[in-house]
Amino acid sequence: MIVSAKGRYALRVMIALAARGGTKPAPLKELAAEEEIPYKFIEGIMTELVKAGLVESVRGKNGGYRLTRPPEECTAADILRVTESSFAAAECAGKDADCPRAQTCPTLPMWRALDEAMEALLKKYTLLELAKSV
């Protein structure tokens, strides 16, 4: 799996929200400037994160975006599931892959084990842990 720019930016903005405490709304322009993410790109990312229920939008003078759950309850895997189509290391090994050689492929168990290890690692890192280094 190669994490897209969208995935890396989503992680950065979620870490930034967690570092702020996660409860006070952060204005989008501020987040974009601090994280050096183009404004139009961050708008799209935040829309996806809102739809996934990871952040919420707060309107008004002191509005912006904030986390919907505590930073210790949100993992890198939760965020990357929103932005990445798959965690699969090989196209043929994904959970929804329809490989005609699956029954006889000698490498399929290896690819699936790699996928499971990658997902387990991403589940291990919470926003709380990631934000400690900020």
- Mean pLDDT in consecutive groups of 10 residues from the start of the chain, 134 residues: 91 95 86 95 96 94 92 96 86 74 86 90 95 84
pLDDT tens-digit readout, 80-92: 999 998 778 887 7
Structure tokens, 17 = 């929200």
Predicted pLDDT at 87: 77
Predicted pLDDT at 100: 81
5-86+126-131: CATH number: 1.10.10.10
Residue 120 near residue 73 (C-beta atoms within 8 A): no
User: Which of 22, 61, 57 is closest to 42 using CA atoms?
Assistant: 57
User: Which of 13, 100, 95, 91 is closest to 54 using CA atoms?
Assistant: 13
Predicted pLDDT at 86: 79
Predicted pLDDT at 133: 78
Predicted pLDDT at 22: 62
Burial of 124: CB neighbours in 10 Å, binned 0-12, 13-18, 19+: exposed
Residue 19 near residue 63 (C-beta atoms within 8 A): no
Q: How far is CA 8 from CA 3, 59, 125, 127, in A?
A: 7, 26, 14, 13
Q: Where are the domains of the chain?
A: 5-86+126-131
Predicted pLDDT at 88: 82
Residue 131 near residue 75 (C-beta atoms within 8 A): no
